[in-house]
Structure 1
Amino acid sequence: MEKVLIKGAGDLATGIACRLHRCGFSVAMTEIAVPTTVRRTVAFSRAVYEGNALVEDIEGVLCRNTKEIDNTVNQNKVAVIVDPSCETLKSWRPDIVVDAILAKVNLGSKMSDADIVIGVGPGFTAGEDCHVVVETKRGHNLGRCIWEGSAFPNTGVPGMIGGYDKERIIRAASDGIFTGAVKIGTLVKKGDVVGHSGENPIYAEVGGVVRGLLQDGVAVTEGMKSGDIDPRGVVEHCWTISDKATAIGGGVLEGIFHIKQKRGVR
């Protein structure tokens, strides 16, 4: 099986990982020591805190080294390793690298990192630092492969869901340590307290289901994204990979097989 190293293990990166895993690729993911994923019920980054993480029918397992990565993928699971500098790239030698950190800038990925290198979202230029870029902006082009140029620049405005964009984001009220006042999957009304940053309450700006929330104990700064409310209010969606992550995963998969077809590789 071909080896894929995905930089990042948040919910969108996890959507990519699950699509590739189901198509027979061996998948490992790198993460930072204190992940700040809010949609952690559908993110393999949760394994950093808990040792493993089940997303739909796929298990992610926290690993400490290349040997443990190999053991994990051989058990048909996704490997997760704390490796912000991506030293795993040198020791594991993947066939494919997918940069899904979503930092909005390229933090160091190069076309020479693997046979196929894919950049996810803004910050990458196809043909310069990666072979193909996959669009992450909601709308007509979501998940589309870009073979020349870059993805749509970051606007700083969240995508529209259920008629709301920035209002659906839960943001820290101040610098401090985050604690949730509700659980993921809770239905809330506008004005409900959904968490605290330090001693300061954080209020919901829109009604709906709390789809994402930071892990308790994470240090936050004022205005930092700390959760997500889905105004459509479908509780079941909190435990399944989103339409956006699925579309982006499909774009990555298309990019891989298109490159292979052009090279005459099966």
Structure 2
Amino acid sequence: MEQKLAETIVAVRGGGDLATGVIQKLYRAGFKVVILETAIPLAIRRTVALCSAIIHGSFKVEDVEAVCISDISQCSDIWHNNQVPIIIDPEGNSIDKLQPTIVVDAILAKRNLGTKKAMAPIVIALGPGFSAPQEVDVVIETMRGHQLGRLYFDGMAIPNTGIPGEIGGKSAERVVHSPATGKVKHIREIGDIVQENDVLFYVNQVEVRSPIDGVLRGLITNGIEITKGLKCADVDPRSADKVDCYTISDKARALGGAVLEGALYLGRQKNLF
């Protein structure tokens, strides 16, 4: 049975910076979007990640404001206010109650953390770790380059290489991983211009320094406990006038467009809307 987009619920698993690009596209198209997140989000590009609402209660990225809720019954009021509800639900347990038409796995964990085709009439997943049409209806390519945003209806995304996409001629060297397990204490903030070897933050008493000159584009939440090896910061080597820490990235917008395309295409194929 066909339904209007404005009546169509989309549950998005994950609210990081790339997921936020997806959420904005779905929100602007008129879907009722709800975000399912972890209790302690680990996004580093926090200024452009709607999961920051879990920490602050509400958070706005461009024209989309997410509001943290404690129960799915609160969704209607948030949607009525033209906002996006976000709830702590890393396991996706609220999906049964929500009965969404579309589920999007935008966790970007490089593996499937429990998303199943049975969750909704349309199930879309971003990145490696999923197989279409066995596990989901469509997989979205997340690797930078010619295939970014491609829809796979039969197959998988390019396997994770472990090497970050190149920006300003830098790849792995621009990303910072925690040298220890412990509590984060910020010294610098997102948007700061930093030099190689500047102290960015501490993990307990261990200094974490910038690997290169550039703009501190990503930095994990202050005061949380993290584990050794976790991706926790990102330094953009481009000049400050070319780095924008406060708007959605080109990659996130591309992925958002791909998810919207997949949702509309499958919705038409399945006579859902």
TM-score range, shorter chain: over 0.9
Of the candidates 122, 128, 138, which is equivalent to residue 134 of structure 2?
Answer: 128
Aligned to 1:250: 257
Q: Distance in 2 between matches of 1:224 and 1:84?
A: 18
Q: Distance in 2 between matches of 1:91 and 1:20?
A: 21
Deviation at 1:84, TM superposition (A): 1.3
Aligned length: 266
Aligned to 2:220: 214
Give the TM-score normalised by the residue count of structure 1. 0.97
Q: Distance in 1 between matches of 2:200 and 2:151?
A: 37
Deviation at 1:151, TM superposition (A): 0.4
Aligned to 1:147: 153
Is 2:99 aligned against 1:93? yes
1:28-177 equivalent positions in 2, closer than 5 A: 28-177=34-183
Runs of 5+ consecutive residues of structure 2 not aligned to the other structure: 1-5
Structure 1 32/265 Cα, relative in aligned 2: closer, same or farther at 3 Å? Answer: closer
Q: Distance in 2 between matches of 1:191 and 1:36?
A: 24
Give the TM-score normalised by the residue count of structure 2. 0.94
Is the CA contact (8 Å cut-off) linking 2:196 and 2:209 kept in structure 1?
Answer: yes
Letter in 1 for 2:190: I
Deviation at 1:108, TM superposition (A): 1.4
Letter in 2 for 1:184: I
Q: Which runs of 4+ in 1 moved over 4 A?
A: none
Letter in 2 for 1:16: V
Deviation at 1:66, TM superposition (A): 1.3
Is 2:251 aligned against 1:261? no
Q: Distance in 1 between matches of 2:76 and 2:134?
A: 31
Q: Distance in 2 between matches of 1:123 and 1:225?
A: 19
Q: Distance in 1 between matches of 2:249 and 2:94?
A: 28
Residue deviations 1:114-164 (CA, integer Å, cap 9, x gap): 111001111111110111000011111111111110001111111111101
Letter in 1 for 2:214: G
Deviation at 1:218, TM superposition (A): 1.4
Structure 1 264/86 Cα, relative in aligned 2: closer, same or farther at 3 Å? Answer: closer
Letter in 1 for 2:253: T
Is the CA contact (8 Å cut-off) linking 2:193 and 2:240 kept in structure 1?
Answer: no
Letter in 2 for 1:97: V
Runs of 5+ consecutive residues of structure 1 not aligned to the other structure: none
Q: Distance in 2 between matches of 1:234 and 1:88?
A: 42
Q: Distance in 1 between matches of 2:203 and 2:272?
A: 52
Is the CA contact (8 Å cut-off) linking 1:64 and 1:82 kept in structure 2?
Answer: yes
Is the CA contact (8 Å cut-off) linking 1:36 and 1:218 kept in structure 2?
Answer: no
Say what the alpha-carbon RMSD is for the aligned residues: 1.2
Is the CA contact (8 Å cut-off) linking 1:187 and 1:233 kept in structure 2?
Answer: no
